[in-house]
Structure 1
Amino acid sequence: MEPRWLTDEEQRAWRAYRDVTHLLEDALDQRLRQTEGVSHLYYSVMGVLSEAPDRRLRMTDLAAQLKIPRTRLSYAVGRMEELGWVRREDSPDDGRSQLTVLTGEGMRTLERIAPSYVATVRATVFDRLTPEQTRVFGEVCEIIRAGLTGPDRPPLPADLPWRR
């Protein structure tokens, strides 16, 4: 069967999306490193944990939410432990699992860093969009996310990076 190639307009949109995702991730990481001395990954770990029940998650669940390999997460959590931002605990429900817990110091660090992060997101994304464009952008992202996470999503391989 012949591939269903992208139209010129679809190709333009896809390339713009691909480029902006890479550029935005880099901009957020560079800005946080310059202004706060923290990587975007560390900020993301603290952000996810801050929204979790009791500010704790199993390492496997944290890796899945962040979509990163568990080995990369383990390294980051180890470094964040040294900084006093998180701690690891054995899971009371499963002796094989560990929980990552956001400490009080980690929460204070997140609260200190958040304004810089939000300012960068606002300057790079939302200050450039009209309210109507923001609404449409949100709707488009929700549609794409639903297609990747909902019941009609493409089948995912068992060996996903965040399961390794």
Structure 2
Amino acid sequence: MADGKGLTDRELRTWRTFLGVATVLNHRIEQQLKDTAGLSHPQYEVLARLSNAPDGELRMTELAGVALTSKSGLSYQITQLEKAGLVQRRPCDNDDRGIIAALTEAGWSKLRETAPAHVNLVRSTFVTPLTPDQFTHLTAALDTLGAHLGITPQTITALREPPPT
């Protein structure tokens, strides 16, 4: 049904497969992080983004931009991470209204402990099932969709896995 009123059978199948794959991947990642680190996926993503920032810290507004979340959602995650001693907030030196979120030593340690298993799970569930050619095509397709949705190269760079240490 390519008449503008619905999706073709192929489009619908692809869309549903995409949703299913995303759901299963997110569930497996969420479960693994919970079981091995006591973290939610959004909490891990906050730690990972902070680890990619200079000195492991970012203004909350910048962090919300690269974390692809709302400011209120980010604030909730930061509060949980702060309670766990993994992140601390402090005022911005050059802006009285700005707040900096920074990894603590415990946060760096948690990330170093958690990242290898997380990377292994991502690799085993997302990378290795595909041939190199399939992965190249998937990358190109996702880059196109990301650009269409306004995901900038800066955001993509900030989504990298934390550096191993």
Any conservation in 1 of the 2:88–2:101 contact (CA below 8 Å)?
A: yes
Please tell me the residue identity of whatever aligns with 1:112: E
My pick for the range that moved more, 61-70 or 103-112, is 61-70
Matched residue, 2:113: 112
Please tell me the residue identity of whatever aligns with 2:103: L
Unaligned runs of 5+ in 2: 153-165
CA RMSD, aligned part only?
1.9
Partners of 1:113 and 1:8 in 2: CA distance = 41
Say which SS state the counterpart of residue 65 (structure 2) adopts: helix
Please tell me the residue identity of whatever aligns with 2:6: W
- The residue correspondences of 1:138-149 to structure 2 (distance < 5 A) are 138-149=139-150
TM-score, normalised with respect to structure 2: 0.82
Any conservation in 1 of the 2:59–2:101 contact (CA below 8 Å)?
A: yes
Matched residue, 1:101: 102
Matched residue, 1:83: 84
- The residue correspondences of 1:1-164 to structure 2 (distance < 5 A) are 3=4, 5-149=6-150
The alpha carbon displacement at 1:4 in A equals 5.2
Matched residue, 2:161: none
Structure 1 pair 150/51, CA: closer, same or farther in 2 (3 Å)? closer
Structure 1 pair 17/61, CA: closer, same or farther in 2 (3 Å)? same
Please tell me the residue identity of whatever aligns with 1:75: Y
Partners of 2:30 and 2:151 in 1: CA distance = 29
Say which SS state the counterpart of residue 113 (structure 1) adopts: helix
Partners of 2:73 and 2:149 in 1: CA distance = 23
Partners of 2:151 and 2:43 in 1: CA distance = 28
How many residues are aligned here? 150
The alpha carbon displacement at 1:30 in A equals 0.7
Partners of 1:104 and 1:135 in 2: CA distance = 37
Please tell me the residue identity of whatever aligns with 2:41: H
The alpha carbon displacement at 1:115 in A equals 0.9
Say which SS state the counterpart of residue 97 (structure 2) adopts: coil
Say which SS state the counterpart of residue 89 (structure 1) adopts: strand
Say which SS state the counterpart of residue 128 (structure 1) adopts: coil
Matched residue, 2:156: none
Over the matched positions of the two proteins, sequence identity in percent amounts to 35
